[in-house]
Amino acid sequence: MSDNSTQPIQEPTERNIRVGFYIATFVIGLVGNLLVLIVITAKRAKKTVNDLFIMNLAVSDLTLIFFLPLHIYGMFHTIPVNAFFCHFIRPLMTVSFFVSVYTLTSMAIHRCHVILHPFKQEIRQKWAVLWITLLWILSFTNVLPLMIVTIPETPTECFENWPSLAHRRAYTIALFILEYVLPLVIIAIAYVKIGLDLNRSWSRRSVRNDRVAHSLESQARRRENFKVTKTLAIIVLIFAVCMLPSQVAWILLDFGNEKQRHMAMVIFKFSLVLTVFHSCLNPLVYGSITKQFRRGYVKYLSYFCCCCRLSILKGLKILLPSDSSSRQEHSDAKRALNGNKHKTKLETRLISGEIIMDTVTVL
């Protein structure tokens, strides 16, 4: 839900710390998620459904990250708002939350399907793209009531103009269920099924040892499934931990008494920090667990650093000039140097000849 209340006045030290943290999160999240998109886009092999889901997750994280400069600016200056800003820009942050959690849920469902039915045909890319498109449509549909009721109350503030407090509370509960509880329940069920299937597969493989080739192929497939499942489980756990404080704060704000509402405002201070911090953690998880992303990060970061170094050297005029006059001067200097070398050789030969003649005369 959009924040329709002004933030309490912050101490300069606290504000500077938050700004520094937001800037670091923005840089890490921007570079990390862009690297995720580049690594998957530059992948030579055919992109899998899991790759498309990871790309969609990176896009949703980038959508959230782009709100950080606006938030940093709002910590020092008042931001003028209008109807478009309140109806669309402000609720877009909630849309990105929905897309993230729905993408994680879809990844868990897809991974469960792949592991439980290993010999069924993989979902085609066009169906995966349609799936992702429906996730965005569903996310916008869930946030549509918020877009309708959010209006500019003052030139600098947006306000959720609900018909009654009961409507506001009902929407808060609906968001809590659709954005947090229901997806995590589905993900938990999927991972329980995956864990039971992997456990049964290990039990069967300990009994069967007659087909070595088939066993090796099955082991490779299981190891890959286990690695992907482990990655997704860590991402989901991070999402659940980082998003829980904000969900609790909205419940306290809409259903609590005066003391609990004050506590909610305190929770909002660090819940926003956790929310934006979550947007830069997924690329770090990919790089620390998946070899493909780790190699891609090193490759493209090295290339980027090399390009930056060349640009700096050109700016400092350390590299040789590339214009024609400079090349002509360089060529003339080279010819002059060669001429001096040739002259030196002739003088050396003459001196050597005189020495020989003097030696013959003496003899």
pLDDT at 203 over 60: no
Residue that has been written with the tokens 């309140």 in this structure: 86
Is residue 2 in a domain? no
pLDDT at 215: 55
Give the whole-angstrom CA distance, residue 285 versus residue 236.
11
The pTM assigned to this predicted structure is: 0.74
Q: Of the residues 240, 259, 290, which one is the last residue of a structural domain? A: 290
Phi, psi angle pair for 154, to nearest 5°: -130, 170
pLDDT at 210: 47
Give the whole-angstrom CA distance, residue 286 versus residue 297.
10
Q: Of the residues 266, 290, 314, which one is the last residue of a structural domain? A: 290
pLDDT at 221 over 70: no
Residues 49-62: pLDDT tens digits?
A: 888 998 999 999 89
3-state secondary structure of 159: strand
Count of domains forming the chain: 2
Q: What is the mean pLDDT of the chain?
A: 77
pLDDT at 219: 61
Domain housing 351: 331-363
pLDDT at 29: 87
Confidence class of residue 5 from pLDDT cuts 50, 70 and 90?
very low
Which of these, 104, 119, 129, 134, lies nearest to 48 by C-alpha position? Answer: 129
DSSP class per residue in 173-213: HHHHIIIIIHHHHHHHHHHHHHHHHHHHHHHHHHH--S-HH
Is residue 322 in a domain? no
46 touches 54 (CB < 8 A): no
State the DSSP H helix or E strand holding residue 351, giving kind and residue range, or none if neither: helix 324-362
Read off the DSSP letter of residue 65.
Answer: H
Q: Are residues 52 and 179 both part of a single domain?
A: yes
Is residue 91 in a domain? yes
Which of 15-29, 85-99, 329-343 bottoms out in mean pLDDT, i.e. has the lowest? Answer: 329-343
Is residue 69 in a domain? yes
pLDDT at 182 over 70: yes
Residues 6+ apart with CB under 8 A from 231: 285, 286, 289, 290
Confidence class of residue 15 from pLDDT cuts 50, 70 and 90?
confident
| Residue 94 CA: distances (Å) to CA of 114, 150, 178, 319 | 30, 13, 12, 49
Is residue 319 in a domain? no
Which of these, 238, 283, 347, 270, lies nearest to 40 by C-alpha position? Answer: 283
Higher-confidence residue of 336 and 114: namely: 114
pLDDT at 59: 92
